[in-house]
A and B are shown apart, each in its own frame.
Chain A
Amino acid sequence: MPSVELVLYQEEFQRLDQALKKLRQEANARAIFLIDKTGQQIAAAGELDQFDTTSLASLTAGNVAATDGLAKLIGEREFSVLFHEGKRDHIHISIVGKRAILLVIFDERSSLGLVRLRVKKANQEMEHIFEDMLQKGEKGAVAAPQASPFSEITDEDIDALFSE
């Protein structure tokens, strides 16, 4: 369903955050980003101030979308792992639970083999968190629609955004 929004609550955010931090340590990576397939950053860990994180998220999603398109053209469902090799830094991209993208930036302190191994393990854990997140989002939408802070947005609130 296209209109299902992604809702991230504190509890899942903390679990994802922990998972990313652990993966970053185990894979000896510079930075790790978890990105929604539409290009929104969900969580991140590592040397974040070294990167333009918003641009990274958007370009990564574009990259994955284009590669998905290529996969379908040749009859594959998807390419679940992408690897970009640079002189100093490298990027490992993988798909988590169909809707998110895990981006790992690493240098000579790590290796592709190590990153692949650790990502595989972390992937499973993150998929669980995503399942919980989706279930919670669906339940929340059905059980307590009035609980959304946006149900009370007024026209004045919206106008205030554009008041400058």
Chain B
Amino acid sequence: MTFINYASREINCKIVYYGPGLGGKTTNLQYIYNKTAPEAKGKMISLATEADRTLFFDFLPLDLGSIRGFTTRFHLYTVPGQVFYDASRKLILKGVDGVVFVADSQEERMEANIESIRNLEENLREHGFDLATIPYALQFNKRDLPTAVAVTELYRTLNFKREPTFEAVATTGVGVFDTLKAVAKQILVELRKR
């Protein structure tokens, strides 16, 4: 749910990074955090376990500059990817404006990717959203690993509405900003339609 504040002339949008556990959602946010100028970002918050697994969410506020005199802010969230944290995942999707799905390219994670997309679709539906219409970008992460499945196969299996799709290596930043831009653009285009 976009929050338009005419008093302070700000637009606030919420983007959620979704995907299977250990797929690189938090790494995406960390890269964005590290590469963004200090004045354009807030503090990054990670609610994680002692073993650095996301427990509830990561949060990163980003200020992208102004559009038509309105400061454009994006609040980026990740969900905990591990299957048993489903209740938490649902909560984080509340009021979402756009979703990035971070898929793990490794062959042994294909099942987990498919299950996670299904779970995303289901949880979005519970909030009254439809994956078919919500701003959405797909990222094939970990392209640098030797066990990565061919892109064509990943595309065939995981892309379902010709959403913008990017190859990425989140640890080095390849594809990270392209994915973010793709979903942010769709959100702003949606705003124009209203």
Contact = CB atoms under 8 A, between A and B. Distances in A.
B91 to A, nearest CB: 4
Say what secondary structure dominates the interface of chain B: mixed
Contact of B192 (A4, A14, A141, A151): A151
A2 B127 contact: yes
Interface stretch (B66-74, B151-159, B163-171): B66-74
Given A5-B194, A52-B42, A158-B189, A10 B7 contact: yes
A62 interface: yes
A135 interface: no
Contacts of B48: none
Nearest to A141: B194
A155 to B, nearest CB: 8
Interface in A33-72: 36-40, 42, 52, 54-55, 58-59, 62, 65-66, 68-69
A153 B192 CA distance: 6
B7 A161 contact: no
Given A6-B1, A6-B4, A141-B194, A149 B68 contact: yes
A162 B64 contact: yes
A62 B57 contact: yes
A37 B95 contact: yes
Interface of B: 1-8, 11-12, 14, 42-43, 45, 47, 56-57, 59, 61, 64-65, 67-70, 72, 75, 87-88, 90-92, 94-95, 127-129, 177, 181, 184-185, 188-189, 191-192, 194
Interface of A: 1-10, 13-14, 36-40, 42, 52, 54-55, 58-59, 62, 65-66, 68-69, 141, 145, 148-153, 157-158, 160-162
19 contacts: A2-B95, A5-B194, A6-B1, A6-B2, A9-B7, A37-B95, A38-B3, A38-B95, A39-B75, A40-B75, A55-B59, A58-B45, A58-B61, A69-B87, A153-B67, A153-B189, A157-B67, A162-B177, A162-B181
Q: Which 9 A-B pairs have the closest CB atoms?
A: A38-B95, A13-B7, A2-B128, A65-B91, A40-B3, A54-B42, A5-B2, A150-B191, A8-B5
